[in-house]
Structure 1
Amino acid sequence: MGDRTAQGAVEMLTEPDYEAMVIGAHPDDNDFGTAATCALWASQGKKVVWVVMTDGTEGSEIPSQSDEELMLLREQEQRAAAEVYGIKAVEFLRNRDGHLVNNEDTRRAVVKLIRKYRPRVIFTHDPTSHIMAPDPDEKPDATGYLNHPDHRATGNIVVDSIFPFAGNPRSFRELLAEGLQPYRVHEVYFFGSTQTNTYVDVTESIDKKGQGLMCHKSQFNPEDNERMAERMRERAAAVAKDAKEKKGLEMRYAESFRRMKLHIPPAPKEETAVPAGSEE
């Protein structure tokens, strides 16, 4: 770490503009991971921006469908869902679906958005979650799943972008000419994690999650879409039960995250009272 008081040093900003930025790999990933929390926060007047890393062009069972047609369709669906949740800003980075890598270009794009929006909290995929599978001896009828490589890549891109690059004035110095100063993110909430430690009561907003997911019509069978709200309530109820067992929290519906703090702002200084009759 260099001398921040040195001549020519650039200040690292710590005052957020947006409450949250959600960065997911594909259209609908942010919905599944965070939609109820984001809808709740948006209803409270908090500013939330969503970022989609890939173009979503492998999200179809129709090989003959054109990439551009599918990309534009999925972006339209994502915007419609965001409107349901009350999210005003959505950024599409349009990296190739299924081939996302953590490199200079993808990190720069994320750093630029972090500095542009200055979110207090960033939500993203947990990059450490690779294999989600129950013990087949304990649950012989249950199946597990392998976390998508784009999910893991997104998590790693975001983690690296947050530190060290977003806050380092010598990283991507061309961004300074665009007026994008270094910025320190306060917290990270990982979704899709096997190490959850934080629960958000989304009883007020869980139905919006189901409604928003129904906007992603290209991704679900019609009968699945009809049951979407019910499925989201069932899943959120199971998370709430987990919150009760692990934390003693009373919630009807919840979303869960692995939360970590990176910056705790100093407590505001108390104003010194001026004695009556004294000069200021």
Structure 2
Amino acid sequence: MGDRTAEGAMEMLTTPDYEAMVIGAHPDDNDFGTAATCALWASQGKKIVWVVMTDGTEGSEIPSQNDEELMLLREQEQRLAAETYGVQAVEFLRNHDGHLVNSEEARRSVVKLIRKYRPRVVFTHDPTAHIMGPDPDEKPQATGYLNHPDHRATGNIVLDAIFPFAGNPRSYRELLAENLQPYRVHEIYLFNSPTTNTYVDVTTSIDQKGKGLMCHASQFNPEDRDSMSQRIRERAAMVAKEAKEKKGLEMQFAEGFRRVKLHVPPEPKTPMPGSEE
């Protein structure tokens, strides 16, 4: 870290413009992880932007389907879903689905968006979540799953972009010519995390999540779409039960995250009694 008081030093901005930026690997990842929280916050007047890292072109069971047609279809589905939640903007970075890596180009693209929108909170995948599944001796009929490599890559790209690059005035100095100044994100919310520590009461917005997910019609069988809202409610009820067990919180439906604070703004100074301020 350099001397911030040195001549020519550039100040790192800490005042946010948007409340939240959600960065997911594929179209519909942001929906599954955060849609009810985003719909709740949007209803409170908070500005939210979503970012999709990949083009979604491996999200099909039809090998002959045209890549560009599928990409445009999935982007349209994502825009429709975002409108359902009240999300103000969606950015598509169009990296190759299934082949995302933590590269210089990928990090720079995320840094650029963080500096552009200046979100107070960034939501993304927990990159530490890799092998998920119950003990087979305890639940012999249950199956686990391996977290998608694009999910893990996205989480690592985003965390690296937040620190050190988004706030470092010497990182990606070409962005300064676009008036994209260094910026410090205040908090990170990691979704689908094995170490959840924060729960959001989404009882009033859970049905919007189910409705929005229905917009991703290319990703679900007809019978899956028919039961989507019910399954979303069941999952959110399980998270609410966890919130009660871990934190003593009373919620009907909840979304859970691993929350990390990076910056706590200083308390405003209180004028001394008798001063003219």
TM-score, normalization: structure 1? Answer: 0.98
Is the partner of 1:45 in helix, strand or coil? coil
Partner of 2:32: 32
Instruction: Determine the C-alpha separation between the residues in 2 that align with 1:273 and 1:48.
Output: 40
Is the partner of 2:124 in helix, strand or coil? strand
Mapping of residues 82-97 of structure 1, within 5 Å: 82-97=82-97
Partner of 1:199: 199
Instruction: Determine the C-alpha separation between the residues in 2 that align with 1:131 and 1:270.
Output: 50
**Seq. identity, %:** 82
Is the partner of 2:127 in helix, strand or coil? coil
Give, in angstroms, the shift of residue 271 of structure 1: 1.9
Partner of 2:183: 183
Partner of 1:9: 9
Give, in angstroms, the shift of residue 273 of structure 1: 3.6
Partner of 2:63: 63
Instruction: Determine the C-alpha separation between the residues in 1 that align with 2:227 and 2:22.
Output: 25
Q: Could you list the runs of 5+ residues in structure 1 that have no partner in the other structure?
A: none
Instruction: Determine the C-alpha separation between the residues in 2 that align with 1:77 and 1:184.
Output: 32
Letter in 2 for 1:264: V
Deviations 1:28-62 (A, max 9, x none): 00000000000000000000000000000000001
Partner of 1:227: 227
Deviations 1:224-254 (A, max 9, x none): 1111111110000010001111111000000
Is the partner of 1:210 in helix, strand or coil? helix
TM-score, normalization: structure 2? Answer: 0.99
Partner of 1:164: 164
Aligned residues: 277
Letter in 1 for 2:258: R
Give, in angstroms, the shift of residue 274 of structure 1: 3.2
Instruction: Determine the C-alpha separation between the residues in 1 that align with 2:254 and 2:64.
Output: 40
Give, in angstroms, the shift of residue 272 of structure 1: 2.8
Is the partner of 2:122 in helix, strand or coil? strand
Partner of 1:253: 253
Mapping of residues 147-162 of structure 1, within 5 Å: 147-162=147-162
Is the partner of 1:228 in helix, strand or coil? helix
Instruction: Determine the C-alpha separation between the residues in 2 that align with 1:100 and 1:2.
Output: 33
Letter in 2 for 1:57: T
Instruction: Determine the C-alpha separation between the residues in 2 that align with 1:227 and 1:76.
Output: 22
